[in-house]
Amino acid sequence: MGSERLPMNKTENSPNLSSDRKGSPAVSHVRQRILVVDDEVIIANTITRILNMSGYAAVAAYDGDTALESALLTPPQLLLTDVILPGMNGIELAQTIRRVFPDCKILLFSGQASTVDLLASAHRSGHCFTLLSKPVPPEELLAQVARQLSLSPEQPAAKPDSSHGALPVA
């Protein structure tokens, strides 16, 4: 698989009508930008496509360094990243994004049990993130994305939500 990126939708600021799908964003005048990061290209591209078809302005990156460059050029409202990435891991990326863009929401996902130590280290540094387990069904993904984007900056980003299988990592 090549490392080609999906083009960023040029109509990010145009009006957006939500679809009838559960978890889709409400009608808004600005599409919320989501940065999706996974070193598995097919996963990053599939999640990006699902989010774009659901009314978000999602872009894919395949490693932490490229994701950070993308965020610095166009800040996301939500970072959706795998934890295990080559080079800068997803937690390091999340911590950097949170430091540079404090209002950016963070949602982590992983299919590996080894992420527990990384998450515990992040918590000791004062960061609390929500973790989704791979594979993430599209309905659950959309519900969690909508939930994260609806939180105000004062609200904690990670609260238990057992109805969708998300684990708050504290």
**Tens digit of pLDDT for each residue in 117-161?**
666 666 666 667 777 778 888 998 899 899 888 866 554 444 333
Alpha-carbon distance of 170 to 104, in angstroms, equals: 18
Place of tokens 């460059």: 69
Handedness of CA 120, 143, 152, 9 (dihedral sign): positive
How would you classify residue 49: left for phi > 0, otherwise alpha for psi between -120 and 50, otherwise beta?
alpha
**Tens digit of pLDDT for each residue in 74-124?**
999 999 999 989 999 999 999 999 999 999 999 988 876 556 666 666 666
* Residue 126, SS3 per DSSP: coil
- Across residues 163-170, what is the average pLDDT? 42
Q: In this predicted structure, what is the pLDDT of residue 126?
A: 65
Give φ, ψ of 47 to 5 degrees.
-60, -45
Alpha-carbon distance of 44 to 57, in angstroms, equals: 14
Q: In this predicted structure, what is the pLDDT of residue 153?
A: 53
What residues contact 133, with CB distance under 8 A and at least 6 apart? 109, 110, 111, 165, 167
**Tens digit of pLDDT for each residue in 13-58?**
333 333 444 444 444 447 899 999 999 999 999 999 999 999 999 9
Kindly give the pairing relationship between strand 167-169 and strand 129-133: antiparallel
Alpha-carbon distance of 15 to 29, in angstroms, equals: 4
CB atoms within 10 A of CB 90: 29
**Tens digit of pLDDT for each residue in 19-31?**
444 444 444 447 8
Domains of the chain: 33-169 (3.40.50.2300)
Q: In this predicted structure, what is the pLDDT of residue 14?
A: 35
Alpha-carbon distance of 134 to 125, in angstroms, equals: 25
